[in-house]
A and B are shown apart, each in its own frame.
Chain A
């Protein structure tokens, strides 16, 4: 039973570029959340998708956007990259209820030059 898979594992971009990160949820899960983790910090919630709609959003600018597909997989898009966007981006999947545990992938390491 595959867990949460993310691609790519590492990515290098330059300032001003755009990036798309991908996530496949754990089998049977219908909800996907995205988090940003800076070095030495805890993960910060970006947003959550359920039924192809953004259900909750954290304190991130509109440069961060997402999408969920009918097969429940998801993409995170970041436009106009800044040096401060360098971080580990984590995807988590869960069942739709509020207090269900979230299952995390191992993340995409994004470096901005």
Chain B
């Protein structure tokens, strides 16, 4: 399975935009890019996913590079509640794509 690489940690100020990067240089053409986050003492929470085009929802935006070897999760205005571990996950569009293969993710610290 293709792997993802994320920074171990990032820090942001409250009410500022946050760009969380993810490298996936061995992505295959049918792999979807998913993002989840895990707040302290909670289960992971789905954030957004995409295949080729940029995606927006009420939580965040996902910017996917043209060659699909990297992507960026954008939180437009960080709040203290956004402090969490963010996971970038590739999901094959095949019979091995039912699982979510979490790595270590990026721990985001948001300061007032």
A residues contacting the other copy or chain, number (CB 8 A)? 24
Q: What's the minimum C-beta distance from B2 to chain A, rounded to whole angstroms?
A: 15
Contact of A90 among B34, B43, B94, B103 (CB under 8 A): B43
User: Of residues B42, B93, B100, which shows the largest number of chain A Cβ atoms within 10 Å of its Cβ?
Assistant: B100
Contact of B102 among A42, A56, A99, A107 (CB under 8 A): A42
Number of cross-chain contacts by CB at 8 Å: 60
Q: Are B98 and A98 in contact (CB under 8 A)?
A: yes
Give A51 to B96 CA distance when docked, in angstroms.
17
A78 at the interface (CB under 8 A from B): no
Known: A41-B104, A92-B43, A104-B44. A99 touches B99 (CB 8 A): no
Task: Mark contacts of A6-27 with chain B using CB atoms, 8 A cut-off: 1 yes-contact digit, 0 otherwise.
Answer: 0000000000000000000000
Q: Are A43 and B100 in contact (CB under 8 A)?
A: yes
Q: Are B104 and A98 in contact (CB under 8 A)?
A: no
Q: Are A101 and B49 in contact (CB under 8 A)?
A: yes
The B31-48 residues at the A interface (CB cut-off 8 A) are 32, 34, 41-46
Residues of B within 8 A of A (CB): 32, 34, 41-46, 49, 85, 87, 91, 93-105
